[in-house]
Amino acid sequence: MKPIVQVIAEQLRVPEARVHDELAFGAIPEWDSLNHVNLMVALETEYGVTVDEDHMVELTTVRAIRTFIAAR
Amino acid sequence: MIQDGREPGSGDSSGDASGHGIDREDGRSLRSGFLRHAARAPQATALGVLDRVVSYGELEHHARLWAGAIVDRLGRPAERVGVLGHRSEVAYTGALAALFAGAAFVPLNPTFPVDRTRAMLEAAELDAIIADDASAVQLASLLRAAGRPPVVVLPQAADPHGWAAGVAAGRAIIGAGELAGMTPLAALPPVVVDDIAYLLFTSGSTGQPKGVPVSHGNVVAFLDVVAERYTVAPGDRFSQTFDQTFDLSVFDLFLPWSSGASVYAMRPIDLLAPARFVTKHALTIWFSVPSLPALMRRKGFLRPAIMPSLRWSLFCGEPLPQATAEDWQAAAPGSVVENLYGPTELTIACFAYRWSPERSPAACRDGLVPIGRPFPGLAAAVIDDAERPAADGEPGELWVSGPQTVPGYWRNPAATAARFVARDDLAAQTKRFYRTGDRVQRLPSGDYAYLGRVDHQVKVLGYRVELGDVEAALRAAPGVVEAIAVAWPLEDGGAASGLVGFLTGPAVDPAAVLASVRATLPDYMVPRELRIVTELPLNANGKVDRRALAGQLAQPPEA
């Protein structure tokens, strides 16, 4: 399994150094709607989780994603 | 091929027996329907935004208050009022306040680069700007370079004068404190049908945003048609999906407000989980670009019968794929699905196709739903390359004339002359047609099918983008010699979800190019990928072969 930071950096197409816990959807141009959907799909593929509509709306920070994956 | 619809009445109020149309007493304007319903039922919900629910009475009070402040400081009715805000209560109320001040509203998006918004602000020559708190910082940098000092209304700011100290002096700044001591505007400055209701800026092929002024007469003609078509009633609850810089947002806001219904604003993240939002607010009317349900399909969110409250499911802004229509119909089985079509120059939408699960699959071409037929009162013509009517069933450019055809481009006679043409051979009498630049074909059923563009305009997630606009920004970046933008990747049905830029130049740094274009283009126009090439492929005519470039994108980049 890839580290979460790597998955996020790949999907947002940004250097891993820019991925920190407070980074949020909409805070940088690269974390837009399209890349958010790509990221959610990548989380499902990489970690075997299911991202439903509530998760789609709630997993909008790196911290929230980290907590969600850790709980699985 | 020419189709001349029913001639509209000469400004009379017939054809409004439903009672859902626009109030004629206030000179048939974009604000008159709202005023009628606010007087009738001030407690009714007009707007839901974040966790706030705003009644018609409250919305009217705020809009009259802000309008009063603007008229008071100007000493006259306003002509154009900018509204700077993004999906906020201030931004929605601001549009209404502008209309109450006798002005056209000019939506400005704080997520756009400052330089682009400043170009719009200067072109529009605003009398006033209403801004939400979240946009105040950007407003300061916008105003520093503005030539004419507009009145500034910051309805949420307790101490706007501290803010104003950093901005050039001499402007009338009105904050929450001043507004609290002011009187709502009782007698609204009159407006007439030819007055501009709103002024929008679209992507222009030369790199400068192009202004499209839409008159009260244009938009009232549109609202009359759709209020009747969708039998809108006070109990209806609308989605608000479109950014206010997009003319389809006028449908989102003013169709409900002209009918006593309510509208619920969606945050950008809500757009990625539409069924959740529809259920939460028991929406009855959905209106969005087809890209949104396409994203839902990809994520498996369009499940059967998950949106039972919807009675209309409307799509516009880009081609509607058949698969999207089918899956959405199953997800909202109690709704009627329609595909709408129309450029800003023809006021929001001017064609519609009603989806039938039984009959429509056979009517689709290349996996796309037809755009249907022109609204009543509009004349449509399919024109060949020699600017003559094409033979029935032959493809050609769509030209449209009627009460929804806007007056022309904002202070741009050359562009207006190129796209708005008077012809006496296409309709019963001489009419002004708008050349849409869209290639269509009339099907044997009488419905029209959309085939593509005659130029280099594309749609990215529903946003209208002139590739020339993007290429001009790329060429202005350091080290770039030549630049071509291609719509990519393409989703179902050929709509694009992004752009790729191809660049030549001996020492081009992609990071520097991206930083440069981000300073001038809104996010949806910034290429998602840049490819540096030694030369651009040419076709047999010696022009850049865009098709070959798109073909390269199907291949992985060379290592």
Residue B394 lies in a domain: yes
- What's the rounded Cα separation, in Å, for the pair B335 and B307? 9
Q: Which is nearest to B513 in space by CA: B549, B483, B556, B546? A: B483
Contacts of B399 (CB under 8 A, 6+ apart): B380, B381, B382, B383, B421, B423, B426, B433, B434, B435, B436
The reported pLDDT for the residue numbered B54 is 98
Residue B208 lies in a domain: no
Residue B166: pLDDT band (50, 70, 90) is low
Contact A53 B273 (CB under 8 A): yes
The reported pLDDT for the residue numbered B17 is 33
The more confident residue out of B12 and B39 is B39
The reported pLDDT for the residue numbered B164 is 64
pLDDT above 70 covers a percentage of chain B that reads 91
Among the listed ranges B156-160, B198-202, B279-283, B315-319, which one has the minimum average pLDDT value?
B156-160
pLDDT for B227 beyond 60: yes
- What's the rounded Cα separation, in Å, for the pair B549 and B190? 54
Q: Which of B277, B279, B299, B518 should be substituted to probe chain A, the one whose Cβ sees the most A Cβ atoms within 10 Å? A: B299
pLDDT above 90 covers a percentage of chain A that reads 88
What are the tens digits of pLDDT across the range B306-356?
A: 999 999 999 999 999 999 999 999 999 999 999 999 999 999 999 999 999
B62 & B186 share domain = yes
The more confident residue out of B429 and B101 is B101
Residue B250 lies in a domain: no
B75 & B162 share domain = yes
Among the listed ranges B24-28, B72-76, B318-322, B517-521, which one has the minimum average pLDDT value?
B24-28
pLDDT for B494 beyond 70: no
Question: By CA distance, what is B291's nearest residue in A?
Answer: A34
Instruction: Give the number of domains in chain B.
Output: 3
Q: Which is nearest to B288 in space by CA: A33, A47, A3? A: A33
What are the tens digits of pLDDT across the range A45-55?
A: 999 999 999 99
Write the CA distances from B420 to B199, B344, B416, B434, integer angstroms. Answer: 17, 13, 6, 5
Contact B275 A53 (CB under 8 A): yes
Contacts of A33 in chain B (CB under 8 A): 268, 271-272, 295, 461
The reported pLDDT for the residue numbered B8 is 35
- What's the rounded Cα separation, in Å, for the pair B115 and B300? 39
Instruction: Give the number of domains in chain A.
Output: 1
Which residue among B426, B453, B480 closes a domain? Answer: B453
Q: Which of A13, A57, A61, A65 should be substituted to probe chain B, the one whose Cβ sees the most B Cβ atoms within 10 Å? A: A57
B177 & B108 share domain = yes
Residue B160 lies in a domain: yes
Question: By CA distance, what is A50's nearest residue in B?
Answer: B299
The reported pLDDT for the residue numbered B340 is 98
Give the CATH number for residue A37: 1.10.1200.10
The reported pLDDT for the residue numbered B1 is 62
The arithmetic mean of pLDDT across residues B379-385, rounded, is 95
The reported pLDDT for the residue numbered B19 is 36
Q: What SS3 class is residue B515?
A: helix
Residue B363 lies in a domain: no
Residue B263 lies in a domain: no
The reported pLDDT for the residue numbered B167 is 62
Write the residue in B276, B298, B523 that is nearest to A57 by C-beta. Answer: B276
pTM for this structure? Answer: 0.90
Looking at CA atoms only, how far is residue B534 from chain A in angstroms? 24
Mean pLDDT of chain B: 89
The reported pLDDT for the residue numbered B557 is 52
B449 & B472 share domain = no
The reported pLDDT for the residue numbered B7 is 36
Give the CATH number for residue B169: 3.40.50.980
DSSP state of A61: B
Residue B391 lies in a domain: yes
The reported pLDDT for the residue numbered B23 is 37
The reported pLDDT for the residue numbered B10 is 34
Structure tokens at B114: 């400052």
The arithmetic mean of pLDDT across residues A36-63, rounded, is 95
* Domain region containing A32: 4-70
Which residue among B453, B474, B490 closes a domain? Answer: B453
The reported pLDDT for the residue numbered B153 is 94
B113 & B154 share domain = yes
What are the tens digits of pLDDT across the range B176-198?
A: 989 999 999 999 999 999 999 99
B127 & B145 share domain = yes
Half-sphere exposure of B419 (CA within 13 A, CB side): 23
The arithmetic mean of pLDDT across residues B141-160, rounded, is 81
Helix segments in A13-52, DSSP class H: 33-47
Residue with tokens 């244009």: B218
Q: Which of A11, A34, A35 should be substituted to probe chain B, the one whose Cβ sees the most B Cβ atoms within 10 Å? A: A34
Task: Give the B-side interface with A, CB within 8 Å.
Answer: 268-273, 275-276, 295, 298-299, 301, 461, 497-498, 518, 523, 526, 528
What are the tens digits of pLDDT across the range B13-57?
A: 333 333 333 333 456 899 999 999 999 999 999 999 999 999 999
Looking at CA atoms only, how far is residue B119 from chain A in angstroms? 21
The reported pLDDT for the residue numbered B79 is 97
The reported pLDDT for the residue numbered B147 is 65
* Domain region containing B130: 58-190
Contact B276 A53 (CB under 8 A): yes
Residue B321 lies in a domain: no
Looking at CA atoms only, how far is residue B296 from chain A in angstroms? 9
The reported pLDDT for the residue numbered B11 is 35
pLDDT for B383 beyond 70: yes
Contacts of A36 in chain B (CB under 8 A): 269, 272
Give the CATH number for residue B495: 3.30.300.30
Which residue among B419, B453, B487 closes a domain? Answer: B453
The reported pLDDT for the residue numbered A46 is 96
The arithmetic mean of pLDDT across residues B234-254, rounded, is 97
The reported pLDDT for the residue numbered B206 is 75
The reported pLDDT for the residue numbered B15 is 33
B441 & B389 share domain = yes
B384 & B461 share domain = no
Contact B273 A54 (CB under 8 A): yes
Write the residue in A29, A40, A54 that is nearest to B276 by C-beta. Answer: A54
